[in-house]
Amino acid sequence: MKKMTFGVTPSQTIGPFFHYGMDWEGGANLVGENVVGERIGIEGRVFDGSGTAVTDALIEIWQANASGRYTHPEDSQQTPPDEDEFIGFGRTETDDEGYFRFDTIKPGRVPGPENTLQAPHISVSVFARGVLDRLATRLYFSDETEANAEDAVLSAIEDETVRASLLAKLTESDGKLVYRFNIHLQGEQETLFFEI
């Protein structure tokens, strides 16, 4: 039998993104009018290794609700779901200055390894030109000091500077709670990305 030999398909970078083709029903708003939980904004910018704003990145977030339950069929916790008021997933692109924003709620603590609880966090994925695979990171909340100290993922990061790259800073904008979370793809302030 004759064997056929094929060459390796060259890899391709992600993007540029055509935002009209990547629309998500909820966009950057994960909450309904009667959502349960503390309403917050997540704002930030995406920077490349030279500190230049990335103007065509796509940011996705996935998180638990205020009770610590994910909108997912495999989450069998007894806490009440609230799919009518909370989506749990959002997607938005960066603007001409690299800014992005999400309207959501602060998530509750979810189960971790060995019957522990993870600190409230949001899973963040970044897609950008020149990036072969999505970049996965986490956003933790700077004001959750006690929960952050108990979190298995944060505790495993020995370098304080690297750990700080995952902390969103609490601020206020127009009387609303906003957490600022800048994402640095490379460089001295590089955000910690996880292999998944």
16-28 confidence digits (pLDDT tens): 554 555 555 668 9
Q: What is the mean pLDDT of residues 10-38?
A: 69
Question: Nearest CA to 195 among 124, 156, 137?
Answer: 137
Q: What is the mean pLDDT of residues 4-29?
A: 57
- The tokens describing 188, both together, are 């001295």
* pLDDT value of position 1: 38
Q: Where do the structural domains in the chain lie, given as residue ranges?
A: 19-83+96-184
* pLDDT value of position 72: 56
Name the CATH superfamily for 19-83+96-184. Answer: Aromatic compound dioxygenase (2.60.130.10)
Cross-strand partners of 99: 45
* pLDDT value of position 85: 86
